[in-house]
């Protein structure tokens, strides 16, 4: 992208890695955390979870990558969630979150800008003397070999331009030929400004742009054929000029991965909404979550014949919870809230009520799907 200095290219590359890579990783970790924690909270009505999982979801509420790892590790070693698909999706989501900054970093980069150079002729020795950028060459459309008859220099080069400085070059050959073989009088131009030309007609060479083999270019008042340019051209880096860009193939793969992650999060969220409904229910937060876990710990330690757990050291308490209680058993029955009566509404309103909680997932999914297509 563009012609940048080293500092500009470096700043752009770092900004892309920080904004897209790291900020994107933080966003995906947050969304994954919200989806996973919602699923775990809804599953507690049907099965137990461990102390660590309960603390992470309801007490610490740390929406970070490590929090997701704690839940996945805890559920893997001490409990097995009812949904194996959920475990697989969470593991794949963690893999995607981990590799996202690395993928963005490897996808983008900057390189020295290169350009095509042509070795020009030294007219006196015939040896190459300098290298000229190909962008400085101009396409030759006509050459007037006897332009001195028009008070100009012979072998006048007429380059291709939308507004040609010598428009008569296009009309004169049509009427009088191009090779100077016409032995009649002719005129260069029209009207009062026309220049009379005595026989023979002007010798004009035409190099049409639809005949590749006839291509002719000019630079430094010399002409070069397309064959010469092909044989004497090479690419060289331009000093202190850089280009920034990204790999299109890696961008496609990253977009597909993002689409799969969006689909996985949507399936987990939809599964929680359908199979584990908590409508008009309240889940514990903050202070009430302390009461739930304290009650569960007291009950578990009593069932393990430990009457005074307060006398245990921190290490003994942790070992007891892990070995004898398999991480602990915390569950709850969500508190039923009074259901607010609502008037009858149409099917459109019913669909909107079902769609509204998931509108952002629908939007993200369709945006990613459209971008992939």
- For the stretch 309-330, pLDDT in tens is 777 788 887 777 777 777 777 7
Please state the domain extents for the chain: 6-109+247-372, 114-241
Backbone angles phi, psi at 101, to 5 degrees: -60, -40
3-state secondary structure the chain: CCCECHHHHHHHHHHHHHHHHHHHHHHHHHHHHHHHHHHHHHHCCCCCECHHHHHHHHHHCCCCHHHHHHHHHHHHHCCCCCCHHHHHHHHHHHHHHHHHHHHHHHHEEEEEEEEEEEEEECCCCCCEEEEEEHHHCEEEEEEECCHHHHCCCCCEEEECCCCCCCCHHHHHHHHHCCECCCCCCEEECCHHHCEEECCCCCEEEECCCCCHHHCEEEECCEEEEHHHHHHHEEEEEEEEEEEEEECHHHHHHHHHHHHHHHHHHHHHHHHHHHHCCCCCEECCCCHHHHHHHHHHHHHHHHHCCCCCHHHCCHHHHHHHHHHHCCCCCECCCCEECCCCCCCCCCHHHHHHHHHHHHHHHHHHHHHHHHHHC
Specify the pLDDT at position 336.
Answer: 47
Q: Which residues of the chain have pLDDT under 50?
A: 124, 280, 335-347
Specify the pLDDT at position 340.
Answer: 46
Question: Which are the contacts of 338, defined by CB distance < 8 A and separation ≥ 6?
Answer: 280
Specify the pLDDT at position 89.
Answer: 82
Specify the pLDDT at position 282.
Answer: 59
pTM above 0.75, yes or no: no
Is 46 in contact with 82 (CB distance < 8 Å)?
yes
Burial of residue 296, with CB atoms counted within 10 A of its CB: 0-12 exposed, 13-18 middle, 19 or more buried: buried
Is 298 in contact with 261 (CB distance < 8 Å)?
no
Specify the pLDDT at position 346.
Answer: 46
Is 237 in contact with 119 (CB distance < 8 Å)?
no
Question: Which are the contacts of 159, defined by CB distance < 8 A and separation ≥ 6?
Answer: 138, 139, 140, 141, 218
CB atoms within 10 A of CB 144: 24
Specify the pLDDT at position 228.
Answer: 87
Specify the pLDDT at position 139.
Answer: 86
Specify the pLDDT at position 1.
Answer: 64
């Amino acid at each position: 992208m563009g012609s940048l200095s080293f500092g500009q290219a470096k700043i752009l590359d770092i900004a892309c890695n920080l904004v897209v890579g790291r900020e994107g990783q933080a966003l995906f970790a947050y969304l994954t955390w919200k989806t996973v924690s919602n699923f775990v909270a809804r599953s507690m009505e049907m099965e137990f979870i461990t102390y660590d999982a309960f603390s992470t979801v309801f007490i610490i509420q740390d929406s970070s990558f490590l929090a997701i790892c704690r839940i996945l590790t805890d559920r893997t070693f001490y409990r097995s969630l009812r949904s194996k698909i959920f475990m697989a999706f969470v593991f794949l989501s963690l893999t995607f979150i981990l590799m996202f900054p690395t993928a963005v970093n490897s996808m983008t980069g900057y390189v020295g800008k290169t350009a095509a150079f042509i070795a020009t002729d030294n007219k006196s020795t015939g040896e190459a003397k300098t290298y000229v950028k190909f962008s400085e060459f101009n396409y030759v459309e006509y050459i007037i070999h006897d332009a001195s008859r028009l008070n100009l220099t012979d072998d006048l080069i007429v380059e291709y331009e939308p507004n040609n400085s010598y428009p008569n070059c296009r009309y004169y050959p049509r009427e009088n030929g191009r090779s100077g073989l016409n032995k009649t009088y002719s005129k260069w131009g029209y009207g009062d400004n026309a220049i009379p030309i005595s026989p023979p007609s002007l010798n004009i060479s035409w190099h049409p742009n639809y005949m590749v083999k006839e291509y002719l270019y000019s630079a430094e008042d010399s002409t070069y054929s397309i064959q010469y340019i092909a044989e004497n051209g090479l690419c060289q880096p331009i000093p202190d000029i850089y280009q920034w860009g990204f790999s299109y193939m890696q961008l496609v793969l990253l977009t597909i991965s993002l689409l799969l992650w969006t689909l996985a999060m949507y399936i987990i969220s939809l599964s929680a909404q359908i199979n584990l409904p908590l409508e008009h229910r309240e889940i514990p937060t903050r202070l009430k979550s302390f009461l739930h876990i304290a009650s569960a710990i007291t009950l578990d330690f009593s069932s393990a014949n430990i009457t005074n757990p307060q006398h245990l050291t921190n290490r003994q308490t942790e070992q007891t919870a892990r070995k004898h209680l398999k991480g602990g058993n915390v569950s709850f029955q969500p508190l039923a809230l009074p259901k607010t009566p609502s008037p009858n509404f149409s099917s459109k309103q019913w669909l909107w009520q079902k769609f509204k909680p998931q509108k952002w997932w629908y939007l993200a999914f369709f945006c990613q799907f459209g971008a992939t297509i």
